[in-house]
Amino acid sequence: MSIFHADKKFERFEDVTPKLLKQEKVKLLLCDLDNTLRLHSEKEPADELADWIEDCRSAGVMVVIISNNGRKKMMQKFCEPLQIPCVWWARKPMRTKLIEAMQDYNFKPSETIMLGDKWSTDVLAAKFAGVRAWKVDHRKKVV
């Protein structure tokens, strides 16, 4: 697969279902935060995000946030109620934090996905780390 293409594309993170994760043998889901799991302006996790994280967990999938956002306190505050690890200032497309997460939690690249909205950071970081890149559209407010 070319580095220019995501391995799968979705409209929104909710389309990445527990059933699909099981089918694809995903154990570790590395997720971008801004414009992937939330609108940039959201201060607290939306209900649909909390539900989705819970669904992933029930499907036996670990979710870890890997964000380029450098606002550590804001990131910690956002991720705390979700009870998932979060990495800030990840400097994607560098692969360092993706590799570290796989090592820290003991997962192989073959059972890992990087989910994000940007080719130049998320998709490339996935390719450099040797994991599958799944792309969502830049998140929009649902009206």
Contact footprint for Mg ion (CB under 5 A): 32, 34-36, 117
Whole-number Å distance between alpha carbons of 53 and 84: 9
Alpha helices, DSSP H, located in the chain: 18-23, 47-58, 72-79, 96-105, 124-129
Taking the least distance from each CB to Mg ion, the nearer of 25 and 68 is 68
Closest separation in Å from C-beta 23 to Mg ion: 25
- CB 139 → Mg ion: shortest distance, Å? 8
* Of 117 and 126, CB closest to Mg ion: 117
Closest distance of CB 2 from Mg ion, Å: 21
* C-alpha 124, offset from chain centre: 13
Contacts of 19 (CB under 8 A, 6+ apart): 59
Shortest distance, position 79 Cβ to Mg ion, whole Å: 15
Question: Which CB, 75 or 108, lies closer to Mg ion?
Answer: 75
List alpha helices for 5-95, DSSP H. Answer: 18-23, 47-58, 72-79
Closer Cβ to Mg ion, 27 or 32, answer by number: 32
